[in-house]
Amino acid sequence: MSKAKITTKKKTTTKKTKEKTRFDGRKANELRPLKIESSVLPNADGSAYIEMGRNKILVGVFGPREMHPRRFAKPNEATLRCRYHMSPFSVDPRRSPAPSRRDTEIGMVMNWAIEPAVFLEKYPRSVIDVYAEVLEADGGTRTACINAATVALVDAGIPMRDLVSSCAAGVIDGQIVLDLGDYEDKEGEADVPVAYLPKLGKITLLQMDGILPIKVFTDCVDLAIDGCLQINEIQREALKKKYGISEEAEE
């Protein structure tokens, strides 16, 4: 039975129905348990640890620092350089430690998701490295990486226009649900990861794989943005806990 068949049939019923309970007992619009902690790495300029469901991810920020080789430096702004990497034991079966094409692509979309939030123009010719290490993966790693990277950037004292918050929504058995875990991810008809800048009202990450009518897709985006707003609060809490007040970090 193909995905499209399901989603097309259920088109009329996919309006954030919240009756069915999910694999892990969550409601359709409920996030997985989320925990963010900043300043967790002694040698990084900024860092954060996130648990989002069973995802366990460390992000370290280094910089602004000098770009090597210098000819890659941008004359008017800093270069943001995101790297996404998974530990060999983060998934089953074990994966090779060499970067995959998927890793490269996720590094690119992380970069695009975060760049609009950073005052890069304050650090011409320099580089800001954001290294995300996925220690354990449970679906939605890219959104978790973006959430942690944002907190780590603030932790590094880098001035931000806004906090980037990221979350996916998807469709399972015709129902739109928030923040899919990996059991759901594999079963689901579609997955829509989104990153959002609440102050600026901008979507900075948007991907989708699956088969969805436009309306269902945009409903997914709306639900994912709802999730982002919830996560934004948690990010602020994590920073407040560390700094007393998070506002100054956002200008």
Partner 1 sequence: MASKSGIVSRLKRRKIQEVLGAGNRMDGRALDEYREITLKTGPMEKTSGSAEVTIGKSRVLVGVKVQIGSPFEDTPEKGVLMCNAEFTPIAHPTFEPGRPGENSIELARVVDRGLRSAEILDFGKLSLIDGSAVYMVFVDIYVLSYDGNLFDAAALAAIAALKTAKRPVHTVKAGVITLTKKTQALKILRSPLAVTLAKIGDTFMVDPTADEEEVLDARLTVAFDEDGNICTIQKGGSDGITTEELHKALELAQVKAAELRKHL
4-63: which residues touch partner 1 (CB under 8 A)?
A: 4, 7-8, 41-45, 47, 54, 56, 58-60, 62
Question: Binding residue for partner 1 (CB under 8 A) from 10, 208, 230, 243?
Answer: 208
Would you count residue 234 as binding partner 1 (CB under 8 A)? no
User: 58 or 167, CB closer to partner 1?
Assistant: 58
The CA-atom distances, in angstroms, between 136 and each of 66, 88, 92, 242 are 32, 9, 10, 25
Question: Binding residue for partner 1 (CB under 8 A) from 22, 26, 32, 83?
Answer: 83
Only one of the segments 25-33, 140-148, 165-173, 221-229 lies at the binding site for partner 1 (rule: CB under 8 A); that segment is 221-229
CB of 67 vs partner 1, minimal distance in Å: 12
Question: Binding residue for partner 1 (CB under 8 A) from 36, 82, 128, 131?
Answer: 131
Scan for tokens 């690119």, then name that residue.
108
User: 209 or 248, CB closer to partner 1?
Assistant: 209
Contacts of 159 (CB under 8 A, 6+ apart): 118, 119, 122, 249, 250, 251
Contacts of 194 (CB under 8 A, 6+ apart): 143, 166, 167, 168, 169, 203, 205, 206, 221, 224, 225, 227, 228
Scan for tokens 């995101």, then name that residue.
82
CB of 18 vs partner 1, minimal distance in Å: 22
CB of 240 vs partner 1, minimal distance in Å: 24
The rounded distance, in Å, linking the Cα atoms of 150 and 52 is: 15
Would you count residue 222 as binding partner 1 (CB under 8 A)? yes
The rounded distance, in Å, linking the Cα atoms of 217 and 131 is: 31
